């Protein structure tokens, strides 16, 4: 298909044509009342353009009018299902919400007036062009109509008139292509979202990204901890060869797995967009189960708690629980069953979590894999306005986090 002819084969060209012709209906209805359409003069046609303008300007002030025009524009001005192609991103630049401000109402009124002018012009040109095509076809066939409505009088007959008919038709179609393109370009400017709507959409998108990151961290921390404990427990039970120790290891694996399943169910509820209160997530007051699972794996965990944990706000306590969980998981995963010292201090409006473990003599760094767990700790602290420091300190590995509780 030659490039100049491609626009003529697109379905959206003809839906735009229909969109413009629909806009002319208002003008023709008004013209039927005033000035009337019997033998109209040039001045009468100018009145046809002018008379509907106040009515359309007032209609644009109705908030729902912007929603209706936006839906029409999305459907008829841009490629989509009606064109048998994938939906266009351009369509999303047109708002389908009612007007929320006088600025939006004013832009809608301008859109209606622009659509009237372009639509009426296209309708009149289409009518005159089609009349000329029919008269040219009649002249080529050797027949003459009783009266002429064509803008160009045809005085004779002959087959050569048939050669001009396709030219006129092509001129009409390319005029429609141009008017449709202009309308599609104007739609995002006059029907597009306002600055407040764009800001609201951006905030919503940001919230969605934050929620996805939170879910990813929840899965990493909870399921990763459970799997790490289970692997360490199974390896220790195999190495010990003690039925009693194996029984305790299996109990610990069962308990940890059950807790992980509960956490997984909470995350799945969020993914299903169900209402799940954040208060159902574990807090630092439930940290005993983390410490017990770590001890059941063979690690010696000493914990010091200073200050009232119950006074910590829910969001801070829940994030603190996940940070402690990730710190203990890293110890078991990368250093094994080494001694661990954990301190939880609430003082001067700050919650301090400090987890230290002895580095094994084999030279393990305390950090492994992709480091996503430590990155998650830093992200959690930053979201709450705190700070986190991780790294080697002498012959120990330290995770030090400070979170404001005020």
pLDDT, tens only, 298-316: 778 899 999 888 888 888 8
Backbone angles phi, psi at 397, to 5 degrees: -110, 130
Predicted TM-score (pTM) of the model is 0.53
Pair 69, 56: CB distance under 8 Å: no
Task: Provide the residue count of the chain.
Answer: 406
**In this structure, are strands 340-347 and 350-358 parallel, antiparallel, or unpaired?**
antiparallel
Max mean pLDDT among 128-142, 224-238, 252-266 falls in 128-142
- Record the tokens describing residue 400, joined without a space: 């030090």
DSSP string, 194-235: PHHHHHHHHHHHHHHHHHHHHHHHHHHHHHHHHHHHHHHHHH
Q: What is the pLDDT of residue 276?
A: 47
For the ranges 109-118, 133-142, 335-344, 346-355, the lowest mean pLDDT is seen at: 133-142
pLDDT, tens only, 195-220: 777 777 766 776 666 667 777 776 77
Residues 277, 281, 286, 292, CA torsion sign: positive
Instruction: Tell me the C-alpha distance between 376 and 29, whole Å.
Output: 65
Pair 317, 344: CB distance under 8 Å: no
- Record the tokens describing residue 385, joined without a space: 């306005």
Where does the pLDDT of residue 267 fall: very low under 50, low under 70, confident under 90, or very high at 90 and above? low
pLDDT, tens only, 275-302: 445 556 788 888 888 888 778 777 788 9
Pair 80, 88: CB distance under 8 Å: yes
Mean pLDDT of 239-268: 75
């Amino acid at each position: 298909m030659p490039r100049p002819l491609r626009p003529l084969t697109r379905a959206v060209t003809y839906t735009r044509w229909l969109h413009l012709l629909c806009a002319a209906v208002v003008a023709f209805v008004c013209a039927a009342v005033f000035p009337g359409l019997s033998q109209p003069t040039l001045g009468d046609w100018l009145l046809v353009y002018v008379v509907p303008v106040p009515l359309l300007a007032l209609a644009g002030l109705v908030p729902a009018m912007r929603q209706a025009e936006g839906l029409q524009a999305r459907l008829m001005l841009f490629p989509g299902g009606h064109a048998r192609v994938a939906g266009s991103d351009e369509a999303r630049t047109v708002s389908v919400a009612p007007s929320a401000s006088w600025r939006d109402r004013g832009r809608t009124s301008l859109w209606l007036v622009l659509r009237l002018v372009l639509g009426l012009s296209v309708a009149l040109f289409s009518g005159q062009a089609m009349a000329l095509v029919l008269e040219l076809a009649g002249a080529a066939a050797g027949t003459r109509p009783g009266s002429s409505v064509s803008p160009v009088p045809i005085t004779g007959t002959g087959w050569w008139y048939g050669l001009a008919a396709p030219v006129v038709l092509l001129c009409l179609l390319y005029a429609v292509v141009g008017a449709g393109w202009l309308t599609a370009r104007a739609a995002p400017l006059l029907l597009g979202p306002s600055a407040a709507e764009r800001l609201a959409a951006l905030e919503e998108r940001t919230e969605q990204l934050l929620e996805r990151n939170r879910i990813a961290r929840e899965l990493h921390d909870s399921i990763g901890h459970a799997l790490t404990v289970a692997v360490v427990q199974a390896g220790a039970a195999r190495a010990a060869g003690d039925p009693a120790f194996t029984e305790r290891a299996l109990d610990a694996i069962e308990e940890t797995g059950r807790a992980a399943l509960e956490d997984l169910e909470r995350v799945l509820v969020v993914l299903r967009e169900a209402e799940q209160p954040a208060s159902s997530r574990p807090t630092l007051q439930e940290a005993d189960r983390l410490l017990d699972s770590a001890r059941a794996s063979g690690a010696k965990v000493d914990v010091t708690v200073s200050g009232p944990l119950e006074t910590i706000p829910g969001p801070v306590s829940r994030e603190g629980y996940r940070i402690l969980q990730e710190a203990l998981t890293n110890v078991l995963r990368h250093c094994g069953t080494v001694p661990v010292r954990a301190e939880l201090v609430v003082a001067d409006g700050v919650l301090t979590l400090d987890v230290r473990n002895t580095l094994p003599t084999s030279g393990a760094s305390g950090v492994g894999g992709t480091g996503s767990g430590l990155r998650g700790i830093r992200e959690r602290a930053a979201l709450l306005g705190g700070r986190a420091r991780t790294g080697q300190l002498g012959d120990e590995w330290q995770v030090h986090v400070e979170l404001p509780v005020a």
